[in-house]
Amino acid sequence: MSVLPRTVQDVNPTQNRKSISVMNSNNDAYDYNHYNNSTFSNNNRIPIVIKRLFKTPKNLDFETATWEMFHLIFKPRKAFRSFYYQHQTKNQWARDDPSFFLLQILLLSITSIAWSIAYGRSFMGFCKLLFNMIFIDFFLLGFIISTMFWFILNRPFFQFKLMTNNDYYNSNNVNNSTRPSIEWGYCFDVHCDAFLVILLLLYFLQFLLLPIINLHNWFALIVGNSLYCFAIGHYFILTFYGYSQLPFLKNINFILLPTLGMALLYVISLIGIDLSSWLSFYNYTN
């Protein structure tokens, strides 16, 4: 008596199809057909995005980067969903095009010029402001936060077990299951996406509201503290959206805890703590 085929390989043994199933707590199986060895080894090679930094501008897709920025502001879920579609077509989660990253550097440079003019600083003051905005706020803090999430979310506690088809049908081999690793480049991409809200609220909008914030009264306190608390809190909401696109992650609600902390800080700060003065860009030029 013949045995019915259980997998595509049984029907066509010559077809090299790598299929992975994710087992959750209810023993449901989810099929991912686009994982291959490169998914688990992206951390061991030079990211394509770095190579493309040295290409000519015609190889950069600024149109897509602008589309992503627009939707990150108005439809963040749709913007982060593009990472999933990218993985389906290019088999990697991290961007391979630095256009989004370069646009943010350009916007930060423009804002540093505006802030240095507002503070009446010299060229050296502008250079200090530019250095702090780009290399401290954006790069250094981004590197720390990205590395922290990369290290934490690659722990087994935050990932479903990924099992091959043979392991799925043979429960004795469950211990042989493998786990994907999150690319550090994707973690930094999530930081870049989430940082956009800080760029818009604290670098652009705060600059426009300086006449109100500099009044140093109770209304100015509300405006300034609202900007800082909402921007930082929303940063972690967008970060949560970014990591929630990875289908093999679980237990990531802790990413939203800083948002709750910023809400509490906002209420406490209304007694007279002026966050806009403590965290002012004026300190960058001294």
Closest CA to 41 of 243, 178, 220, 197: 178
pLDDT value, residue 262 = 96
Report if residue 160 sits inside a domain: yes
Name the token pair of 284: 């960058």
pLDDT value, residue 112 = 93
pLDDT value, residue 54 = 56
- CA separation for the pair 46, 146 (Å, rounded): 17
pLDDT value, residue 7 = 40
Number of domains comprising the chain: 1
pLDDT value, residue 52 = 55
Give all strands (DSSP E) within 127-189, no chain letters.
Answer: 161-164
> Could you say which residues of the chain have pLDDT below 70?
1-59, 87, 90-91, 161-179, 285-286
pLDDT value, residue 28 = 40
Backbone phi, psi, residue 249, to 5°: -100, 150
pLDDT value, residue 207 = 94
Report if residue 254 sits inside a domain: yes
Q: What is the pTM of this model?
A: 0.76
Report if residue 2 sits inside a domain: no
Whose structure tokens read 């008596």?
Answer: 1
List, for residues 202-243, the tens digit of each pLDDT value: 999 999 999 999 898 999 999 999 999 999 999 999 999 999
Report if residue 238 sits inside a domain: yes
User: Torsion-angle region of residue 182: left (phi > 0), alpha (psi -120 to 50) or beta?
Assistant: beta
Domain ranges, residue 275: 19-285
Report if residue 7 sits inside a domain: no
Report if residue 12 sits inside a domain: no
- CA separation for the pair 207, 184 (Å, rounded): 33
- CA separation for the pair 237, 257 (Å, rounded): 9
At how many degrees (to 10) do helices 62-74 and 99-118 cross? 70
